[in-house]
Structure 1
Amino acid sequence: MIPDYVNGKWDVQVKGFSPAGCYEWFKGSRPKVPWARLVWNEWLVPKHQFLGWLIAQGSLKTNDKLVLYGIDVDDRCYLYAQATEVSDHLFFECAYSKQIIHCINQKLNCHIPENNVLDWCLHKTGTKLQIGVQAAIVWGAMYHIWREKNKCRIDGVITRPNNCSYKIIEEVKARIRGRDFQHVTKAEIDWQRLKNLYVMVA
């Protein structure tokens, strides 16, 4: 039950009142989004998570949107100048992005598709750890693709896809190393070894 506002004061002496109930009342009811479990999970690096949230909502300011806002920029992709920079192109269709995914697949024995990556994530099965780690890899790739695009725009240089994929994997490994492995099963550890993601935890 929600407290009443009486005579300029909140009446908190209401039977059944709880902070959680009050929070839910202020928040209101909102429809669940399918990408929530991919973005808001403990395995993501926080900076990757924030960018993933922007991407999932379609809020990332790609060049095509900047042009629509009246900003004088070239709407072409900085990584592949023959195409317009829209979100789908930058992360799923750009030749540079595809090379990064290809390198990750080789290093981690994965089969991440070059197209429809988010759809692939949404339909992945497995344990919470497996789904979370694979989402962390995908959002990590998108974060670094976005970072390389901005670096190319400012400095005119980009990191080789193989080196970029190495950075992504090392950041995900560091995140795994920082998690609580008390309840990780042997099957999950074997899965991490298979994907070359296993890290020794003291």
Structure 2
Amino acid sequence: MVLGYVNGKWAVQDKGFSPAGCYEWFKGNRPKVPWARLVWNEWVLPKHQFIRWLIVHGALRTNDKLVLYGMDVDDRCYLCSQATKRSDHLFFECAYSKKLIHSINQKLGCHIPETNVLDWCLHRTGTKMQLGVQAAVVWGAIYHIWQQRNKCKIDCAVTRPENLSEQIIEEVKARIRGRDFQHMTKAELDWLSLKNLYVMVD
């Protein structure tokens, strides 16, 4: 069965055509990356996933990137006004970012570190649901930190970390409400309740 066209010849699949086989053929053999399950996670909002995907590829237009492009920009962080030429300062060495994570930890009873957050994400333990919800919280924080950075750059104003943490938590709750609670164990529901994320839907 014909599968595709390669180097001037038609490639043939012995087992016959299937959409899955065709997709695998187009994708090719590529090494797995450790962050894939963290970025493409069913609990994380798509817009949050996209920002995270840009980060792992070093594609966010942070000030250090703009300098490399030959642009004359201030090297200070827009959120904390500290001079830095490092692209990873914003997540989570910036004082604003640390305050945001601290506020989230207080409200959810979590233990997300205020530094090395991305390393922590790669070494967490828990059920698939717990890991997914934790990822949703962290990527939500990353997305909104980037939004606040741009807001500060343009409008010279930011949302208080305490208020922003509430917005992030509400987005995670909305995502959770869209899940099927019938397929969750009692232990998982208890965990969500303990983190103030479990909302009964009539």
Could you say whether these structures have the same fold, taking a TM-score greater than 0.5 normalized by the shorter chain as the test?
A: yes
Structure 1 153/85 Cα, relative in aligned 2: closer, same or farther at 3 Å?
farther
Structure 1 85/108 Cα, relative in aligned 2: closer, same or farther at 3 Å?
farther
- CA drift of 1:82 comes to 1.8
Matched, 1:200 2:196: no
Q: Which runs of 5+ in 1 are unaligned?
A: none
Q: Which runs of 5+ in 2 are unaligned?
A: none
Give the number of equivalent residue pairs. Answer: 201
Structure 1 15/103 Cα, relative in aligned 2: closer, same or farther at 3 Å?
closer
Q: Which runs of 4+ in 1 moved over 3 A?
A: 8-15
> What secondary structure, in the 3-state scheme, does the structure 2 residue paired with 1:3 have?
strand
Structure 1 4/124 Cα, relative in aligned 2: closer, same or farther at 3 Å?
closer
The AA in structure 2 aligned to 1:38 is L
The AA in structure 2 aligned to 1:119 is D
TM-score (norm 2): 0.92
> What secondary structure, in the 3-state scheme, does the structure 2 residue paired with 1:16 have?
coil
Q: Deviations over 1:101-148 (max 9, x none)?
A: 000000000000011111111111111110000000000001110000
Q: Which residue of 1 aligns with 2:154?
A: 154
Separation in 2 of the partners of 1:169 and 1:42? 16
Matched, 1:132 2:132: yes
Whether the 8 Å CA contact 2:92–2:114 is kept in 1: the answer is: yes
Structure 1 4/172 Cα, relative in aligned 2: closer, same or farther at 3 Å?
closer
Q: Which residue of 2 aligns with 1:191?
A: 191
Q: Which residue of 2 aligns with 1:89?
A: 89
- CA drift of 1:87 comes to 3.0
TM-score (norm 1): 0.92
Q: Which residue of 2 aligns with 1:122?
A: 122
- CA drift of 1:99 comes to 0.1
Q: Deviations over 1:128-180 (max 9, x none)?
A: 11000000000000111000000000000011110011111011111111122
1:63-74 correspondence runs (5 A): 63-74=63-74
- CA drift of 1:201 comes to 2.5
> What secondary structure, in the 3-state scheme, does the structure 2 residue paired with 1:33 have?
coil
Matched, 1:36 2:36: yes
Q: Percent identity?
A: 78
